[in-house]
Structure 1
Amino acid sequence: MAQTHPWRSELLSMMKLAWPVVLAELGWMLQGVVDVIMVGRLGPVAIGAVALGNALYYAPSLFGLGLMLGLDTVIAHAYGRGDHEACHRWLAQGVYVALIATLPLMLITFGLSAVIPHFGVATELIHPTRTYIDILLLGTLPLLLYAASRRYLQSVGQVRVITITFVGANLLNWGGNYVLINGKLGLPALGVGGSAISTVLSRCLMALTLFAFAWRYEKQRGHPLFEHWARPVLREMRELLKLGLPAATQLVLEIGAFAVATVLAGKISPTALAAHQIVLNYAALAFMVPLGISAAAAIAVGHALGAGDPKGARLRALLALGLGAGFMLCVTVLFFAVPKYLIALYTHDSAVTAIGVPLFALASLFAVFDGVQIVASGALRGMGETRISMWANLIGYWAIGVPLGAVLCFVFHMGIFGVWIGLATALILISFALFAAWRKKSGALLHASSPAIASH
């Protein structure tokens, strides 16, 4: 008999899975915000050093975090079919991939730090930026181990501990910043370096806490984590990389496109850059919600497919898409209705406001599409498909969006509005492409399973 899926209970299950993940994404973003706020009292050079340091550090680090995204697929599928031994084994393979990736990522980041003097940045920024990056390097392995353990816990439905861990990590980061930047409790004032040390310590806490909880979870089901730790299996590590490499590349392509847009904004004028950054900050904050829903979609779809239930997988993906689009529709209304108020929370500069208001209008036009594209990407990842998202981002941003934005900006003299039209065009095209890909793939899975369903 075919399984039934009451959409209300599925919606409640999706929301129960999604909200802690959304809070975790917001907690991740808050770490960077805390660093900037806490060093702000040291002056503009310190703020610039942290901003530039984070921009250079996170490009390689996000690639490393992307490698761990493949765990969503393989662990969720294993959990869905009730194979807890495989869940444990995949976590071990993820840890081995993290260990292997750490040194190359650190070397790349160190190389970026070494060439900062050749970037043409202000001389006074060079030393504090390099200090900040070089200390952050020490947190690369804890960051990747955190990512592996988080993906494992999410995929087996243990999501609340991730939110709790981020609360603790942010409190430690805030307290550490206060003490180490300003030299409290008898410690020397380390400035920007103190902020970096605090961030590294918070990442160590995240990794240790999540691994401790994973160990406790395994022990409760009679399978102590470290007593039955799996050996490296090259075939499984290759399978993980086959999923993770495209996902990692997708992250870098997307973040890179917005980084280029920021560079273009800086070439126009400081006022345009300020307006661009304010609107982008709000858009990025709103994006954390569909990003969390996307992770929940990958897990929920993976659970259903692991259990041999493509109909349930399709329903869960549709509900996630509805949640993501619905939230971003609310964001659209907010951006369109009160842009001046949102800008005023940052600045009362009339020139920045004059540019920022129409930018918010553009952001409101693509907000729903942004929500759809990231949730569709998560649903595809839950199906074991990560290459389509990579290609969609490569073509959408780098073959169309970024070049179009540059041409509209500098050739047609549309300024920052041209840059944002390019970004909006890319997001809309990517959204249609990924939704169509998800619809086609989920339809194919339903069609393939229909003879088996009919035979029962």
Structure 2
Amino acid sequence: MDQTYSKKEKSKQLLHILIPILITQFGMFSMNFFDTMMSGRFSPNDLAGVAIGSSIWVAVFSGLSGILLAVTPIVSQLIGGKKENDVAYNVIQAIYLSFLIGIAVIISGILFLDPLLNVMSLESEVRRIATDYLTALSFGILPLFVYNVLRSFIDALGKTRVSMFITLSALPINVFFNYVLIFGKLGLPKLGGVGAGYASTITYWLIMGIALFVTAKQHPFSSYRLFKSFHRLSIKKWKEILIIGVPIGFSIFFETSIFSAVTLLMSVFDTITIASYQAAVNFASFLYMVPLSISMALTILVGFEVGAGRLKDAKVYSWLGVSMGVMMAILCGLILLIFRFEIASLYTTDAKVLELTAHFLLFALFFQLSDAIQAPIQGALRGYKDVNMTLMMSFISYWVIGLPVGYCLATFTSLGPVGYWIGLISGLAIGALTLSMRLIYIQKRKFKHPLEV
């Protein structure tokens, strides 16, 4: 990354870092997208089972891997402050921590998955598919968490194209194994949606292996000598990572898990409604990769500028990212409006599921604008290492306001499942407003107290 002196230069550097992140995020999410879409082609039960399992997994993974995103602002500020010698130690400690988190997830799944699914009023076949799908995914948890640490390190150096190429190289393999394992090709048994879980696990091991090779052997990553020295476990360093990472992780968890909570509450409806809701949420989440990628790019750039003490530049990057997010939201909204039936047909050939999915996709239109504001702002705030208040705002917006409003509308009015969509949209809008106010406050405070950490 380089110091920039004009908005044009900043826009160019933002795009240079953003576009590979965006492609990488689409690639990562495409694994989940193809899991859901290809399972839907197998049967409505497989679509519902994989979609439910996926919604649980995405919430857990997004929240816990979000903890490891602390590596990005830590490393970017170290590089901005010319403290490159401290980078390897921080990254290795994060890898150790990723193992601990991964093991905790596996143990938690063994203990709590069945009770969670038992709470949901699912058909027995849908429940079985969801359980087996998540079991298959569990074999890839450790490599996936390690990859996320290495990717955060790679991205913090501004080399986001490397992450992009790693992900894109793995995506065709994921689709291939999905096809083979779901539909029983090449002499293998038909596993249905469960096969998608095993396909993702194979892919997770592959991308970890590639990332390990790249960071150990390729310049400029090899110059940081991540694996040249043995570093003992440091509880103190883990604490430093967790102080930044836990609020980031829980903030992401509060946002993503609300969709899982709605899935749980919507289990009182029939399988057609559940499958349609999950398909619509899956595509809305696919589009969310745009503002999320802008968020990740801003964390890198704002962290770099703050570490170098260039607070004015950090502020310009922040609002450039928000403006870009809004423009992209308008484009995505038009795509949803015009092609909602074509999009729905990607997930199912069942006429009832298709019709209801297309109807639900209309509500995803309203997600786009709020997401376009709140996600980039969260990324900018992480660049400032301001994470605790963001956590609180996310909790209040989604769980204190959004979910209760949705439940009341769905339960006590004639809106039914549509009520949950209105509740979610309300939470997103309030989150966007409060986070905007927080960013303005932090930027003013930084200018008054520039040495404040």
Q: What TM-score do you get using the length of structure 2 for normalisation?
A: 0.89
Cross-structure match for 2:102: 102
* 1:276-315 Cα distance to aligned partner (Å, 9 max, x none): 4454333222211110010000000001011111111111
Change (3 A) 1:286 1:189: closer
Percentage of pairs with the same residue: 24
The alpha carbon displacement at 1:371 in A equals: 1.0
CA distance in 2, matches of 1:219, 1:341: 44
Whether the aligned pair in 2 keeps the contact of 1:72 and 1:151 (CA below 8 Å) is: yes
Cross-structure match for 1:454: none
User: Are residue 302 (structure 1) and residue 303 (structure 2) matched?
Assistant: yes
Whether the aligned pair in 1 keeps the contact of 2:84 and 2:224 (CA below 8 Å) is: no
User: Are residue 431 (structure 1) and residue 432 (structure 2) matched?
Assistant: yes
Change (3 A) 1:220 1:145: closer
Whether the aligned pair in 2 keeps the contact of 1:274 and 1:352 (CA below 8 Å) is: no
Structure 2 counterpart of 1:300, which letter? Answer: L
Whether the aligned pair in 2 keeps the contact of 1:373 and 1:430 (CA below 8 Å) is: yes
The alpha carbon displacement at 1:387 in A equals: 1.5
Cross-structure match for 1:49: 49
Cross-structure match for 1:195: 196
Cross-structure match for 1:67: 67
The alpha carbon displacement at 1:213 in A equals: 1.1
Change (3 A) 1:59 1:96: same
Structure 2 counterpart of 1:421, which letter? Answer: I
Structure 2 counterpart of 1:24, which letter? Answer: T
Cross-structure match for 1:142: 143
Cross-structure match for 2:19: 19
Whether the aligned pair in 1 keeps the contact of 2:215 and 2:222 (CA below 8 Å) is: no
The alpha carbon displacement at 1:222 in A equals: 4.1
CA distance in 1, matches of 2:194, 2:353: 35
Cross-structure match for 1:81: 81
The alpha carbon displacement at 1:83 in A equals: 1.9
Change (3 A) 1:74 1:219: closer
Whether the aligned pair in 2 keeps the contact of 1:49 and 1:129 (CA below 8 Å) is: yes
Aligned positions, number: 447
Cross-structure match for 1:227: 228
Structure 2 counterpart of 1:438, which letter? Answer: L
Cross-structure match for 1:167: 168
Deviates more, 1:263-272 or 1:153-162: 263-272
The alpha carbon displacement at 1:92 in A equals: 0.7
Q: What TM-score do you get using the length of structure 1 for normalisation?
A: 0.88
User: Are residue 133 (structure 1) and residue 150 (structure 2) matched?
Assistant: no
CA distance in 2, matches of 1:433, 1:401: 14
Structure 1 vs Structure 2 CA RMSD: 2.8
Deviates more, 1:326-335 or 1:440-449: 326-335
1:389-404 mapped onto 2 (5 Å cutoff) = 389-404=390-405
Cross-structure match for 1:254: 255
Cross-structure match for 1:214: 215
Change (3 A) 1:229 1:322: farther
The alpha carbon displacement at 1:148 in A equals: 0.3
CA distance in 1, matches of 2:127, 2:192: 14
Cross-structure match for 2:10: 10
The alpha carbon displacement at 1:39 in A equals: 4.0
Cross-structure match for 1:453: none
Whether the aligned pair in 2 keeps the contact of 1:343 and 1:356 (CA below 8 Å) is: yes
User: Are residue 332 (structure 1) and residue 333 (structure 2) matched?
Assistant: yes
The alpha carbon displacement at 1:272 in A equals: 5.0
Change (3 A) 1:119 1:309: same
Whether the aligned pair in 2 keeps the contact of 1:218 and 1:225 (CA below 8 Å) is: no
The alpha carbon displacement at 1:86 in A equals: 1.8
CA distance in 2, matches of 1:185, 1:296: 41
Structure 2 counterpart of 1:212, which letter? Answer: F
CA distance in 2, matches of 1:340, 1:431: 29
**SS of the residue aligned with 1:385?**
coil
Cross-structure match for 1:421: 422
Structure 2 counterpart of 1:6, which letter? Answer: S
Whether the aligned pair in 2 keeps the contact of 1:113 and 1:134 (CA below 8 Å) is: no
CA distance in 2, matches of 1:352, 1:46: 15
The alpha carbon displacement at 1:142 in A equals: 0.3
User: Which runs of at least 4 in structure 1 moved beyond 6 Å after TM superposition?
Assistant: none
Whether the aligned pair in 1 keeps the contact of 2:279 and 2:357 (CA below 8 Å) is: no
**Structure 2: gaps spanning 5 or more residues:** none
Change (3 A) 1:418 1:179: closer
**SS of the residue aligned with 1:149?**
helix
Deviates more, 1:336-345 or 1:176-185: 336-345
Whether the aligned pair in 1 keeps the contact of 2:76 and 2:307 (CA below 8 Å) is: yes
Deviates more, 1:274-283 or 1:423-432: 274-283
Change (3 A) 1:421 1:222: closer
CA distance in 2, matches of 1:17, 1:263: 37
1:251-330 mapped onto 2 (5 Å cutoff) = 251-267=252-268, 273=274, 276-330=277-331
* 1:46-73 Cα distance to aligned partner (Å, 9 max, x none): 3343333323334433332111011121
Cross-structure match for 1:112: 112
The alpha carbon displacement at 1:139 in A equals: 0.9
CA distance in 2, matches of 1:4, 1:122: 57
Whether the aligned pair in 1 keeps the contact of 2:52 and 2:278 (CA below 8 Å) is: no
The alpha carbon displacement at 1:364 in A equals: 3.0
| Structure possessing the higher radius of gyration over alpha carbons | 1
Structure 2 counterpart of 1:440, which letter? Answer: Y
CA distance in 2, matches of 1:389, 1:372: 14
